[in-house]
Structure formats: C-alpha cells, structure tokens
Amino acid sequence: MTAQPQVEFGKWRSFFWPIYRFELKKFIPMLAIFFLISFNYNLLRAFKDSLIVTAKDSGAEAIPFIKVWVILPMAILLTFIFTRLANRFTREKVFYIMMTGFVSFFFIFAFILYPAREFLHPHDLADKLQLLLPSGCRGLIALFRNWTFTLFYTMSELWSTAILTVLFWGFTNEVTSVQEARRFYGILATGANIAQICSGQVSIFLSQKLFIPQIPYGKESWEQSILFLNCAVIASGVLSIILFRWLNKHVILPHERIQEQTQKSEKIKMSMRKNFAYLAKSKYLICIALIVLTYNVAVNLIEIVWKNQIKLVYPDPSMYNAYMGEVLTATGIIATVVSILLTTNIIRRFSWTYSALIPPVITLITGAFFFFFTVFPNINLMGITAFLSVSPLYLSVTFGSLQNCLTRASKYTLYDATKELAFIPLSKESKLKGKAAIDGVGSRLGKSGGSVIHQGFLILFTTLAVSTPYIAIVFVGVVVIWIMSVVSLGKQFDELVMSKTKLDIPEPEAKEPSPTLSQP
C-alpha cells in the first residue's frame, strides 16, 4: 500500500490501538478473518475431543494413536498438496481451494457420515481385535472402531495447521512489514482470544441437552449439537472466504498481484522432499522448527494425561464438552486480558528473545505443578481435598485445567506472535517454503512425537496412570530444549533486524554451502 505520513500515537491509543487510520481498510478484514478462523479452531478443539474420548470403547488413550497413524500421514499429504497448489496457483486461489475442501468435509460429516455412523463403524470386528491384541493397543482399536470420529478429529486438527497457520499467517506475513507486525500481531491475538471466549460459550450452550423435535435430525440433544456445530463451522468458513476475496480485490493493489504472478512464474518449483532439504540448509529455520516441535511435544504430553482424567470425572459427552467449553472460555478471558494489557507492549518494548521465552517458562512451571499433583495425589492433596470436600481426582483435573488455560493463553498471546514475527526477516521464497515445511509437517511431527512417547509407555505399562511419572520426566527435558532454541533464534533474529537484511536461503540444488544475506 502507498506509504502514509505517520504521527505519534497518544498514550492510551498507543497502548490499546496502535493502528493508523489509513491501515484500517487492510487491518479490519484481517482481524475479522482471523476471528472467524480462530472461532472454528477452538469450537472444533472442544468437540473433537468429546467425540473421541467419550466414544464407544474409547478414551484419551486413542488420541496418541490417531496423531501418529492418521494425522501425521494426512499432514504430510496436505503439505504435499499445498506445495503443489502453491507452485501452480496464486496465494489467493490456494486459500479458496483449501478452505473449500475443509468446509465441504464438515458438510459431508454432518449430513452423511455422522447420521450413518452405526452402520459405518465396524464394532463386531473391533471386538474380535480387542480379544486378540494386547490391552495396550486399546487406543489403536478405538481409532479403527470409530473411524468416522477419527476422520473428524483429524480434519479438526489439520484446520489449525492448514488454515490457521499456513494459509492465514502465510498471507499475513507476506503483506505485513516488521514495523506493522509489532503493532498488528498483539491486536490480532486479542481478536483470536475473544473468538475463543465465544467458541467456549457456544460449546457450553450446545451441550445443555436441549432437544428440538421440530428439527428432523438426530434422536437426542447431543446429535443435534453435532449438527449445529458443523453448521457454525461451515458458515464461518464461507464468511472467511468472502472477506478474503474482498481484501484481495479492494486492498491488495493490482501491481502487487502482478509482482506475485511474476515471482511465481520465475521461482523454482520444489517437491515436499526438497522442502525438507530446504529447511535443513538454514540454522535459522531449524531453530524455528525446534520451537514448533518442542512446543507441540510438550503440550501433547501433558494434555493426553489431563483429558484422560476429565473423562473419569465427566464420562457423558455433553458434560465433557460443556467442561471443555468452560476451559476454552477461561483461557480466552485470560488471554484477552493479557493481550490487551501486555502483549503488544511486550513485543514493542522488549527484545524478541525476552518475549518468546515467556511461553516455555510458563509451560514448564505450570506443567511441573500439574504432574506433581497428579503423580502424588494422596501425599500432597489429602489436606486440601478434605478442606474443599472434593476428591483428589477432581482437584487434579482442576490443576490440569489451570495449566492448560495458562499455557494456551501464553501461546495465543506471545508464542504465535513471536513465531510469526520470526518469519518476516526471510525472503519471500524462504518464507513460503520454510513455513510450509515447519508448520505443515513440523507441528504434526511434534504432536506425533509426543504421541509416540505415549504409545511406547502405554505398551509397556498398559495405562496412562502408571506411565505418567515417566511422561513428566520427558516433558521437562523437552521444554528445556524449547528454551535453548528460543535463545539461539533470538540472537539470529536481532542480527537480521539490526542489519536490515533479508535471509535468502538457496535452493537445495544450489552449490552455495551456506545461506546468504541480501539487501531487501
């Protein structure tokens, strides 16, 4: 967009709304799209867990198997598809194609797969497999038994990777400068947090066991809740497409589209394998990948234990989903307050390293407390539980919920903003290919890595309860690696910003031994 004269903000506007008037035409649609995509992400996050954890002969132990044997291959396939689409079409068309694919799936699930689930689910065969295989494979059998729920869980998980991370943030990073990002991203995080509050309240409302007989769908309230959920996701997706179209037509200038088309025709097309080779050529990209990997491993390790405890307290799917909605709401409120009062100012006034270290430190401290109270409930909680007249299990679930709220709030306020800010000093080619590899597969490898750890312990110890102490030890080690990666990346980021250079990483076929720096 055309440069505009900039004036200093007033004290309060600088704190809450550091956006220039000429930027509103660009920023408001971006904020609205991010709100809608985040709303779907959080709504799906609650419902997908409720479907899988409370399904017939299933539980939280099914989640590690789904993430390794279904989500990881699907993420690799999705990255391959995205790379092919990005090489053939413009950024705008790729957004439309990917969004349409996801919206179509949720329509098919709501009106075809879910109503026919009893006919489609192979319960008899799964029962026979349960007798033949070890008890540690119960989660793997549940994956197969409830395969339509598994597919829903997978597509819900991939929404965060493909739509939220790769498509939206990829677009945002291309049309936003470092100076704009320092002012924009904190407010975008606030919008996402408000969306989380809304999705939490919607989840609670849809779990109130209100059956409407006039609607010819389902035999109970939970089945109608599935219908309303998918309709909300579809509506938000369609509205996001409309807003994105308006933004590209009226704000993204024609000469920018011509420039993008020229660059797309000149650039070397790379396969998914070469994407990983491209990633391996840069220490900078490797550090970002380690941050993404370790975050997802750490969160996955702790959430599976926590979700298993929630099922013990709330076995009914409606009650389970309502509780998850309350957690989403609490997380959104905490994250909104923090993002309004602190996030933008922390990013603007402190170094990238300082800002990016806050999430892993919070994760480490709260995670250590959760595992401590979970592993030793009878030793540490007897006095507290007697005073509050609650069971040790319920109090442990509460501690886990507090950990989840604080960790997720730090992710939405600082982790996402600093991670996306780290991509900006890259050249356009490096940004596109590196981001596709890191976010398209890197996050999946992180979650799958945590799931592989859980699977190994489940096979050895058969239950999550027995394996929890060993999971806690691995968790601490992973977060330490996360902190070390942040420190290393922060030094490189500061050097690039200070020198006002772009990191240009050569193609895998190039002969240069190391990345080069070129003036933007």
pLDDT the model gives residue 145 = 94
Largest Cα–Cα separation, the chain: 73
Strand partners, 518: 502
Q: Which residue has 């598994």 as its token pair?
A: 150
Question: What one-character DSSP code corresponds to residue 220?
Answer: S
CA atoms of 2 and 252, how far apart (whole Å): 11
Is residue 56 included in any domain, yes or no? yes
Question: What one-character DSSP code corresponds to residue 20?
Answer: -
The token pair that represents 59 in the structure block: 């539980």
pLDDT, tens only, 388-427:
556 677 777 888 899 999 998 888 778 888 888 888 888 7
Establish how many alpha carbons lie within 13 A of residue 400's alpha carbon, considering only the half-sphere containing its beta carbon: 26
Three-state secondary structure of 337-379 = HHHHHHHHHHHHHCCHHHHHHHHHHHHHHHHHHHHHHHHCHHH
pLDDT the model gives residue 3 = 47
pLDDT the model gives residue 267 = 44
pLDDT, tens only, 195-232:
989 999 999 998 887 788 888 888 888 899 999 999 99
More confident residue, 360 or 427: 360
pLDDT the model gives residue 282 = 80
Is residue 515 included in any domain, yes or no? no
With 50 as the cut, is the pLDDT of residue 134 above it?
Answer: yes
pLDDT, tens only, 249-304:
888 765 455 455 444 444 444 555 665 676 677 888 889 989 999 998 999 899 99
pLDDT the model gives residue 256 = 53
Mean pLDDT confidence for 74-91: 85
pLDDT the model gives residue 235 = 96
The rounded radius of gyration (Å) of the Cα atoms in the chain is 23
Is residue 254 included in any domain, yes or no? yes
Strand partners, 502: 518
CA atoms of 160 and 474, how far apart (whole Å): 25
pLDDT class of 244 with cuts at 50, 70, 90: very high
Percent of the chain with pLDDT over 70: 82
CA atoms of 277 and 129, how far apart (whole Å): 40
CA atoms of 196 and 202, how far apart (whole Å): 10
Mean pLDDT confidence for 316-330: 90
8 A C-beta contact, residue 162 and residue 412: no
CA atoms of 512 and 496, how far apart (whole Å): 20
Strand partners, 426: 503
The token pair that represents 432 in the structure block: 């596109």
Is residue 512 included in any domain, yes or no? no
Return the SS3 of 138. Answer: helix
Give 283's contacts (C-beta < 8 A, 6+ positions apart).
488, 492, 515
Using a CB cutoff of 8 Å and minimum separation of 24, what contacts does 360-363 make? 360/294, 360/295, 360/298, 360/479, 360/482, 360/483, 360/486, 361/483, 362/406, 362/407, 362/410, 363/295, 363/298, 363/299, 363/407, 363/410, 363/479, 363/482
Return the SS3 of 473. Answer: helix
Quote the mean pLDDT of the chain: 82
The token pair that represents 397 in the structure block: 């679930």
Residue 229, burial from CB neighbour count under 10 angstroms (0-12, 13-18, 19+): buried
pLDDT class of 51 with cuts at 50, 70, 90: very high
CA distances from 399 to 309, 325, 370 (A): 11, 16, 6
Mean pLDDT confidence for 322-329: 91
Which is nearest to 162 in space by CA: 232, 246, 74, 90? 74
- Total domains in the chain come to 1
With 60 as the cut, is the pLDDT of residue 64 above it?
Answer: yes
The token pair that represents 261 in the structure block: 């088309």
pTM to 2 decimal places: 0.78
Is residue 3 included in any domain, yes or no? no
Per the structure, the complete domain to which residue 408 belongs is given by 26-506
Give 500's contacts (C-beta < 8 A, 6+ positions apart).
519, 520
CATH classification of the domain holding 58: 1.20.1250.20
pLDDT the model gives residue 356 = 92
8 A C-beta contact, residue 352 and residue 421: yes
CA atoms of 236 and 231, how far apart (whole Å): 9
Is residue 17 included in any domain, yes or no? no
CA atoms of 414 and 451, how far apart (whole Å): 25
pLDDT the model gives residue 421 = 85
Percent of the chain with pLDDT over 90: 30
- End-to-end alpha-carbon separation of the chain, Å? 17
pLDDT, tens only, 91-123:
889 999 999 999 999 999 999 999 999 899 999
Mean pLDDT confidence for 50-71: 88
With 80 as the cut, is the pLDDT of residue 477 above it?
Answer: yes
CA atoms of 352 and 420, how far apart (whole Å): 11
Mean pLDDT confidence for 453-476: 87
pLDDT the model gives residue 262 = 46
Is residue 50 included in any domain, yes or no? yes
With 70 as the cut, is the pLDDT of residue 332 above it?
Answer: yes
Is residue 16 included in any domain, yes or no? no
Mean pLDDT confidence for 51-59: 88
Which is nearest to 440 in space by CA: 91, 89, 97, 158? 158
Q: Which residue has 């926590």 as its token pair?
A: 306
With 70 as the cut, is the pLDDT of residue 83 above it?
Answer: yes
